[in-house]
Chains A and B, each alone.
Chain A
Amino acid sequence: MIAAASLRRSPPHVVIIGGGGTGGALAHDLALRGLRVTVLERGEVTSGTTGRHHGLLHSGARYAVGDPESAVECIEENRILRRIAPGSFEENDGLFVAVTDDDADFGPTFLAACEAAGIPTRRLERSAVLRLEPNLNPELRFAVQVPDATMDAMRLPLRFFATALANGAVVRPFTEVVELVCRGRTVTGVVAVEHATGRRVEIGADIVVNATGPWAERIARLAGVDVPLQPSPGVLVALRGRFTNMVVNRLHASGDGDIVVPQRALSVVGTSSWLVDDPDDLGVPSDHVERMRVEGARLVPAVARAPLRAAWSAARPLIGERGATTGRELSRTFRCFDHAAEGVEGFVTISGGKATTQRAMAEVTADLVCRKLGLDAPCRTREQVLLPHEAYYGLLRRATVPAGRLAG
């Protein structure tokens, strides 16, 4: 175990590839533990999958029946994020709405699963629901209130980045990793292109973390290892108009277009699902866009006619063996891969998960990184309140380091 004093004198350097929610939360976690951190992101931070999601802060109820491991992760992180990032959520709770009798029959299973996962629920009868949210489908049978909320998909992670910067982390957006530097089978650093100057820079690291979400396999291949990752995009649609304050979910097993998330003056309806090989080439199938309106309108009828603000796709990083045809084996949980298991030292991948669990993903990864470095440094991110997102760009300017200082 490295003594605290020597840790302060020459802390190990961790390079994080990927400036999404996970990369930001990990930089924050490692910086708090006293390590030297550099985040490299090829575009603007959160420009991968993180910025694109509908902004749901999961209660976990959505996964209670089919993926209880994810459900428990979600409700725990839901509480932690509200505590460490106050003022970053539209905190109006959510509803799971039974629109048909089949939905209603699913109710008892749903409620029991939520209870098992520790997700607080409150069943509301039809008239009470319509008083709360008059724009819901009047044919609803009943609804279950859960602690969903809306987060700002970009500004919440920005708080992790801002705090990490304030604690000495280096964040370098528009800096794209193109190679890994290896000594034998040990990864010792990266080569990156700094797009603002066109320069190639070599950055040494004690550990390199691959936190690139659905691009994790592309980066892992740079080290000659594989990650069982299946990028799975879905279409989302933003409509003009705020029709509900609460997040509205369909009370059923799962399906396309079964969630309407209010966000400022927009209503975001999601989502669909298909599989791709290349997360940079997603497309926006127009039949999926139509499906969002049709299915979303079953929850909130106004969705059928509301003007379209945007239609876009985002790729989920699903962990599981490739070749899965239905994807039923693919969970929404996250996993940390220590590639020492494949004989490559100094390289770790974290992927899977969702925005709600970004802090937990970071904790697990930081724990692994510290174990590999022989450090005894506990996680402090469950309690540490984050800086406001407005601090990010000012801190980023001050932290910009000339390239020459980063070698080794």
Chain B
Amino acid sequence: MSGLDGGARASSRAPSASSVEQQSAPARLRVYRHKPGAAAAPRFEIYEVPASAGATVLDALLWIRRHRDPGLMVRHSCLHASCGTCGMRIAGREALACVTSLAELGPGEVTVEPLANLPLVGDLVVDMEPSYARLRAIGRPLVRESELRPEGRPAEGIPGPTRFEDCIECGLCLSACPIVATDPRYLGPAGLAAAWRSVEEPRGGAVGRVLALADDEQGVWRCHTAWECTEACPSNVDPAGSIMRLRRAIVLAPRPKQ
């Protein structure tokens, strides 16, 4: 970690937040619990969780895992909406648990369920492979041009400012899409948004190949403009807009001579 020079700067043990922060009323979470393959049917368990100011749904879930049931399966990693692993449905709406504060959900019971439309690994954890299989097929690189460009030349030795793609592969769009809900072969918003990015900024990839993948009855033409994917996306990817732009690109692309 940064801020250190040869060791920790701290000279004292800071008390944990729960004793210094103001306590809000406890939060009630209604959490989906199911281990596939187990005899018990899926059910919802109610947990009361002490909530400090600023606590997120993920904080509450990890409290439950630590103090009530270490078997609660929850996926998380970065805690700041960059890794995309903590996607789930909170109060019926797709969200990243690490940046959804309990306060913004208001009083009353909050239902927490795994993402829809993806196979269940256990409790709140789903299998992301259907999404990654599509992303691999599209082959969009992780790194793109940065739109923040200095006047004049970039730093010496650096070809040109770059940054990671916006898409954090969280799957919220797949859970929200009514077509993914019914059609197992639809390429889906995440894959099509990646395809658009590969067309918009090829980075040495074969644009024709990507357009051909998208120009399919299970590609861009399967979308019915529900726009739920763009609404659900926590990272400004705008999959719906990307699909429409792809359609335009496909329609306007020069036809190869037969």
Residues of A that sit less than 8 Å from B by CB: 43-47, 50-56, 62-63, 65-67, 87-93, 122, 131-134, 145, 150, 152-155, 174, 176, 193, 195-198, 230, 232, 234, 236, 238, 242-246, 249, 253-259, 262-266, 268, 270-276, 280-286, 309-312, 314, 316, 318, 320, 325-332, 354, 388-394, 396-397
Contact = CB atoms under 8 A, between A and B. Distances in A.
A308 to B, nearest CB: 9
7 contacts: A67-B7, A152-B164, A265-B235, A271-B3, A286-B54, A316-B1, A327-B8
B205 interface: no
B74 interface: yes
A132 B1 contact: no
Interface of B: 1-18, 20-21, 35-38, 52-54, 66, 70-83, 85, 98-99, 121-122, 125, 127-129, 132-133, 135-136, 141-143, 146, 148, 150-152, 154-158, 161-166, 168, 235-236
B3 A310 contact: no
B210 to A, nearest CB: 15
A274 B14 contact: yes
B16 A276 contact: yes
Contact of A257 (B3, B79, B83, B85): B3
Contact of B155 (A45, A93, A281, A286): A93
A246 B6 CA distance: 24
Contact of A236 (B7, B80, B136): B80
Contacts of A53: 1
Contacts of B76: 43-44, 47, 51
A394 B2 CA distance: 34
A137 B15 CA distance: 34
Contacts of A198: 35, 38, 71
B43 to A, nearest CB: 14
Contacts of B78: 51-52, 153-154
Contact of A328 (B6, B16, B54, B77): B6
Given A63-B6, A131-B152, A174-B121, 16 more contacts: A46-B83, A52-B78, A66-B5, A93-B157, A150-B164, A174-B125, A195-B72, A245-B163, A259-B2, A264-B168, A310-B80, A310-B99, A327-B9, A332-B7, A393-B127, A393-B129
Contacts of B129: 393-394, 396-397
Given A273-B9, A327-B7, A354 B143 contact: no
Nearest to B56: A310
A285 B150 CA distance: 36
Q: Which 3 A-B pairs have the closest CB atoms?
A: A283-B17, A51-B77, A327-B8
B142 A122 contact: no
A195 B73 contact: yes
A208 to B, nearest CB: 21
B163 A90 contact: yes
